[in-house]
Amino acid sequence: MTTDLEYIQKAEATRVRVLSEALPYIQRFAGRTIVVKYGGAAMKDNSLKETVIRDVVFLSCVGLRPVVVHGGGPEINSWLDKLGIEPQFKNGLRVTDAATMDVVEMVLVGRVNKEIVALINQAGGSAVGLCGKDGNLVRARPQGDEGIGFVGEVAATNVKLIESLVKDGYIPIVSSVAADEKGQAYNINADTIAGEIAAALGAEKLILMTDTAGILRNYKDPSTLIAKVDIQEARKLIEDGVVSGGMIPKVNCCVRSLAQGVRAAHIIDGRLPHSLLLEVFTDAGIGSMIVASSEFRA
């Protein structure tokens, strides 16, 4: 029978082993920018939220430069319900009329963003809340589909503000709202903004936190996780129908960021505690990594 002392000794040994394994990764990535798209269950579950916040602060404390991009769909739906506005979707996109856009901006920029900033500051980090409007960080344009209102795409980025902040040790927290050249606000997919910001920053990594284990050969079986693919293999997985549904835009987002100079893109399961650190700092990783070519070594 295992005694309490033996259990404690095993737990401590595991902790030391993990820290030792993390050291070469900490050394390799110190001073490098990592863009994290934060969303899904990790935003809704309070215990998961706490671990993500601590992980982001940990990244900053060991010398990496994290940038967090977030959406907030469930919170938007909650406030639309409170205001008597029925959420509508078309082809997987939120129909965003003027009234809905007001709620989206209020919730993402004024509520969700500031909550994340406050939590990171409480955990010992130094966070600054932004949206695409700040410093012309993201310039929007209409997505183009008929009948979806103010749903946007990224027309241009200007990351000087983020570069200044991370250089001074701040953690930028970016909500997925931006404006066009006339000042009209648009709701933009957070994955898309994260990918474009990562590309503009020449980030070491783009990490998309999702509610799935990663890219699966059989979407019903987590044991079929594909740990690493290059751009060509990723495109073939889409062609063959292995990557389908909501995973297609995520993989395409990763591929686009890699084509623009991001070193590696990751799709990880935000439902697992500390998945962010497990992916960045362990040999095995936890999700799917996409790289530009098969010769790349992360």
Query: Letter for the amino acid at 209?
Result: M
Q: Nearest-CA neighbor of 244 among 208, 269, 219, 270? A: 219
49 is catalytic: no
Percentage helix, strand, coil, to 5, in the chain? 45, 25, 30
Identified catalytic residue from 44, 45, 73, 134:
73
The total of other beta-carbon atoms located within 10 Å of residue 248's CB is: 13
Residue 96, burial from CB neighbour count under 10 angstroms (0-12, 13-18, 19+): buried
40 is catalytic: yes
Identified catalytic residue from 39, 40, 152, 270:
40
180 is catalytic: no
10 is catalytic: no
Identified catalytic residue from 37, 49, 133, 205:
37
Identified catalytic residue from 49, 133, 205, 250:
250
37 is catalytic: yes
What is the DSSP code (8-state) at residue 298?
A: -
CB contact at 8 A, 100 and 80: yes
Identified catalytic residue from 71, 72, 149, 191:
191
CB contact at 8 A, 217 and 247: no
Residues forming the active site: 37, 40, 73, 191, 250
